[in-house]
Amino acid sequence: MTALAASHLQTRLDGHTDTVRDVAWSADGRLLATASRHRTARVYDAESGRSLRVLPCDGAMVESVSFSPDATRLATAGRDQVVRVWDALSGEPVQQLAGAGDIGRQVAWSPDGTRIAATFKDQVARVWEADSGRLVHELRGHTGDVWGVAWAPDGSRLATASHDRTVIVWDAATGAAATTLTGHTEFVEGVAWSPDGESLATGAGDHTARIWDARTGALRLLLRGHTDYVWNPAFSPDGRLLASPSSDRTVRIVSTEDAKEVTVLRDHADTVWAVVWSPSGTQLATASTDGSGRVWDLRPRGAESVLVQGHDGPVNQAVWSGDGTRLATASDDGTARIWSADSGAPAGPVTTPGERVWSVAWAPHGDRLALSTADGLVRVVDGSGGTVFDLRGEPVEGGSWSSDARRIATGGHDGTVRLVSAVDGTELRKLTGHQDWVGRVAWSPSGRRLASCSDDRTCRLWDTADGTQLTVLRGHSNYVEDAAWSPDEARVATASGDWTAAVWDAVTGRRIDVLKGHEGRVRAVAWSPDGLRVATGSDDRTVRLWSATTFEELAVVGVHQDKVMSVAWSGDGTRLLTASVDGTARVWPTDPDYDQLEARARGRVFRTLDAEERRQHLLPPDPA
């Protein structure tokens, strides 16, 4: 499970027997093309990785490949001083573009499909008409070998990168140099435009990638992290991420806003020359000296049956709708969102209170959601996303609906629990007694009692009719993060920052047993609908099941890429919904087919893990 959660690799593009220098994705997402020093280019089915066509290039090494915008043609450049144009469907050659004085480096099709640009070792970039083959421009100005070439999204400008350590932006209509980017201290080979045309990204021999203002040439972001040459970077389709391939055998993916690392793709055995995003932005393809192309998921598919992705920050809580057909999530990105429980696709309005959303709770019946934020807003919204009412006060980390959908309980940083009307927000009762922040709160199934969790290391049980405190569950040595009632209301399970969960007698407050096994803070706990199992989620990234009778650990049923923040059972007890700091929510079968999962993992992990990776993957240090 951990191997699947950590392995971004989805598919290998095999067939070449030498360096794969470039890779391109068709705009419709169906095809991938590679260029190789094996003296061929290839076209693959993007979904399966199956080789569809081989394009022989008269014995010349192929350095670059580019799809026409309509995906009907391909252009290749290589070490024979011509640019070749091919029919992408049949693999037949269409024409050759001549006029260069030395070997080709890179090729790029204009966004409107009417022109093809290519760079050459003779220090010149050339532009041809794609249909007629007429040479339109020879762009002269570099004083070194010219490599990278990229069209602005609107086709009005062209950028070229050179071993003279500069990038020149050219007016595509006149061929005149408009801007020169200077600052790299070694050769520049890679250049890419942001989707909005406002920025350029470069990769260089000085081990850095950089993002520049495309108009002024001013440096916007300096990206360090690679330990070797950086080659051809690529912006994600939404422009929010940048992927940079390197001779250090990795691709680093960072935020273009603050350079924060999103993930690192590691599996190539040699230099990674090129990276390209799928049109959907959910996958990337790479080309490497190790002779392979590879397709990667930006967010790896693990053992989950449904992956919910779309948030731009940690997901703090995920909950089921009353009928189990939809999911709601709360995130640090300042939104609460609704998704299909079957597909993980968006399935409702996005609520944007603007501040970090800490909790979300779905009414037992109907479409209403209650959410709370870091700045003290409690909001109830209807099925169309309209606000039913707002409450303002101390920050609220937890909220919960009563089973009759008439009341909402909240836990606040002022140490109080409040019961409010679910109709208009009128405060019905204020429960005091905690000595520190109150986090999550949980109604008993009947609605007669409530459990509240606090940083004061206790969980308190309340009578919701008169507000009296029934008992205090003491014994955890750190924050109490979450609580769950057994279906018969006889017991309560708690999750704690002391790395344990515990089960308590709800009447006497006696601790019945401690669930030990997690290797980090336990943030979430949930009782199965049949009362036989307890689920927990932890900072150790795992989702675990425990027997509610013997209190033994039964299984690890899920592994996230980061801390698990919440866990919730489906109504039929066959699935678990979790939220994670890795930015996703996931649905896991509660009885996984481990043999099938092992087969999937073996199909995606192609090498022996080193000692550090084995530690990260919760594996014994010695493979033997």
Q: Encode pLDDT of 487-545 as tens digits.
A: 999 999 999 999 999 999 999 999 999 999 999 999 999 999 999 999 999 999 999 99
Number of DSSP helices (H) and strands (E) in the chain, helices first: 3, 55
Evaluate if residue 617 carries a pLDDT over 80. Answer: no
Distance separating alpha carbons of residues 241 and 262, to the nearest angstrom: 8
- How many beta carbons lie within 10 A of that of residue 291, not counting itself? 19
Rounded to 5 degrees, φ, ψ at 613 are -65, -40
Percent of the chain with pLDDT over 90: 91
Burial 197-229 (b: 16+ CB within 10 A, else e): bebbbbbbbbbbbbbbebeebeebbebebbeeb
Beta carbons of 298 and 307 less than 8 angstroms apart? no
Q: What pLDDT does 16 receive?
A: 92
Evaluate if residue 624 carries a pLDDT over 80. Answer: no
E-assigned strands of 374-475? 377-381, 387-392, 396-401, 407-412, 417-421, 427-431, 438-443, 449-454, 458-463, 469-474
| Token pair recorded at residue 82 | 């011509």
Q: What pLDDT does 607 receive?
A: 62
Q: What pLDDT does 354 receive?
A: 86
Evaluate if residue 1 carries a pLDDT over 90. Answer: no
Evaluate if residue 620 carries a pLDDT over 90. Answer: no
As a whole number, mean pLDDT of residues 472-487 equals 98
Q: What pLDDT does 479 receive?
A: 98
Q: What pLDDT does 358 receive?
A: 97
As a whole number, mean pLDDT of residues 419-433 equals 97
Instruction: Calculate the alpha carbon distances from 24 to 6, 105, 175, 279, 394 in Å.
Output: 25, 15, 26, 11, 52
Evaluate if residue 325 carries a pLDDT over 90. Answer: yes
Evaluate if residue 103 carries a pLDDT over 80. Answer: yes
Q: What pLDDT does 76 receive?
A: 97
Angle at 225 between CA 222 and CA 231, to 5 degrees: 75
- Average pLDDT for the chain: 95
Beta carbons of 90 and 79 less than 8 angstroms apart? no
Evaluate if residue 98 carries a pLDDT over 90. Answer: yes
**Model confidence over 36-71: pLDDT tens digits?**
998 999 999 999 999 999 999 888 999 999 999 999
Q: What pLDDT does 621 receive?
A: 79
Q: Which of 299-313, 439-453, 480-494, 546-560 has the lowest mean pLDDT?
A: 299-313
Q: What pLDDT does 424 receive?
A: 96
Q: What pLDDT does 601 receive?
A: 85
**Model confidence over 248-277: pLDDT tens digits?**
999 999 999 999 998 999 889 999 999 999
Q: What pLDDT does 609 receive?
A: 73
**Model confidence over 210-221: pLDDT tens digits?**
999 999 999 999
CA dihedral of 157, 161, 162, 163, whole degrees rounded to 10: 170
Instruction: For residue 80, give the 3-state DSSP assignment.
Output: coil
Element at 4 (helix H, strand E): helix 2-6
Confidence of residue 379 (pLDDT cuts 50, 70, 90): very high
Q: What pLDDT does 505 receive?
A: 98
